Amino acid sequence: MKAPLYWVNIDLKRIDHNIKQIKRLQRPDTKIIAIIKSNAYGHGILPVALQAIKSGVDMLGVVNAREALDLRKKGLIRPLAVMGAVAKEEMVELARQKVSFMVHNRRSLLDAVAVANIVRQRINLHLKLESGINRLGFSVEEALTAARTIERHRYLTLEGIWTHLASVEELNKSYTKSQLFQFEKLLVKLRKAGIKVDRIPYVSTAASAAAMLLPESRFNAVRLGIAMYGLWPSRGVQAWTKKELHSKKIHLKPVLRYRTRLVSVRRVPAGVYVGYGCSFQTPKPMTLGVVPVGYAEGLPRSLSNLGFMLLKGAVVPIVGRVCMNMTILDISKRPQSKPGDEVVIIGRSKSKEISATDVADWAGTINYEIVTRLPESIPRIYTN
């Protein structure tokens, strides 16, 4: 397809740049787990995986067995961990494909033990601690019991221990410190139980925000997600990072651009209604342009009469409701535009730029959601 009507550009050089930016903040021996779950946050799982490996990460993290096994089928043989819940039936194939996976409660641990007894080969497990987000994970005492079970089993290896911090992106250090206390409490108990914590390859509490802001959260591994894609975990994290001496020089480069083309241009008089529900009425004669992207192509419907795009360096507002596959723009600032002209949804046009974070702000959500919800069917063009 030489000239698609909408497409996403992915600059893999920027993946490399962003990984190196975060690495600068870590100790030389800190391991990097590149999080490529959910189609690499919408960026394309295999190309991003290959670039992350090329950039020197130690492990890849996915969310489910399907992602892991698809990567294995495509020939990826590097260390890979499933960081979401796994069914017992999936554990068998993950074990055979040498994919690590997480246990987070008694049921998942018993399933892993049963599978190890069946396949009779080494299985690497990651133990998840519930430290305060109240989602998945063992309590401290449960985690201690689980670790002992893993250590005693002939075919099980404790490859990782980790937890999720709930409020680093909101800069709530007091709550984060309470979670880190729970994590360190577990490590102390493990050492007292004779488990050699220092030999566990992946001990991790830090995702992108903590990896940049909290040296005390890094232990021997960090999980690099949103920052790898050149997006800040929050505007607060971005501002705070610039204030901190150790992180003020960090510069992230957005990896993704999203563009489309005009498919229709029309001049309309004042007083006509635009789009479904007659939610917009032209206050004056206007030039309207239609682009062939809507909420099925990842554009939030909440941007109806609210969001913006870029056309030839001009900011052009969305008018009317975002449709399933089309969106109408007020292009009166560029009335000579014609079908085929490029429109920027995320990215730069001359001196103007719209970021995924801008789109998220208008839509009342977060940049993670904006990029992750871009359908896999959208053509992606990779440069490196």
Same-domain pairing of 280 and 348: yes
Residues 6+ apart with CB under 8 A from 76: 46, 49, 50, 53, 60
Same-domain pairing of 136 and 192: yes
Question: Mean per-residue pLDDT for 77-99?
Answer: 97
What is the tens place of the pLDDT at every residue in 95-146? 999 999 999 999 999 999 999 999 999 999 999 999 999 999 999 999 999 9
Look at residues 243, 267, 301 and tell me which one is the last residue of a structural domain: 243
Position 3 in a domain: no
Residue 7: how many other CB atoms lie within 10 Å: 16
What is the tens place of the pLDDT at every residue in 230-242? 999 999 999 999 8
Name the active-site residue from 37, 41, 202, 295.
37
Taking the C-alpha atoms of residue 366 and residue 256, their distance in angstroms, rounded to an integer, is 15
Q: Which residue has the tokens 């001009």?
A: 314
What is the tens place of the pLDDT at every residue in 11-49? 999 999 999 999 999 999 999 999 999 999 999 999 999
By CB neighbour count within 10 A (0-12 exposed, 13-18 middle, 19+ buried), where does 112 fall?
Answer: buried
Same-domain pairing of 144 and 18: yes
Same-domain pairing of 263 and 191: no
> By the 8 A CB rule, do 10 and 44 touch?
yes
Position 2 in a domain: no
Same-domain pairing of 82 and 219: yes
Position 160 in a domain: yes
Same-domain pairing of 138 and 196: yes
Same-domain pairing of 40 and 85: yes
Number of domains within the chain:
2
The whole-chain average pLDDT of the chain stands at 96
Same-domain pairing of 173 and 280: no
Same-domain pairing of 207 and 288: no
Q: Is 276 a catalytic residue?
A: yes
| Residue 197: HSE in the Cβ half-sphere, 13 Å Cα cutoff | 20
What is the tens place of the pLDDT at every residue in 357-377? 999 999 999 999 999 999 999
Same-domain pairing of 83 and 136: yes
Name the active-site residue from 88, 242, 273, 276.
276
What is the tens place of the pLDDT at every residue in 201-220? 999 999 999 999 999 998 99
Same-domain pairing of 237 and 269: no
Position 287 in a domain: yes
Window from 14-18, 176-180, 215-219, 306-310 with minimum mean pLDDT: 215-219
Position 310 in a domain: yes
Q: Is 243 a catalytic residue?
A: no
Q: Which domain holds residue 107?
A: 12-243
Question: Mean per-residue pLDDT for 49-62?
Answer: 98
pTM, to two decimals:
0.96
Position 4 in a domain: no
Q: Which residue has the tokens 């190309």?
A: 47
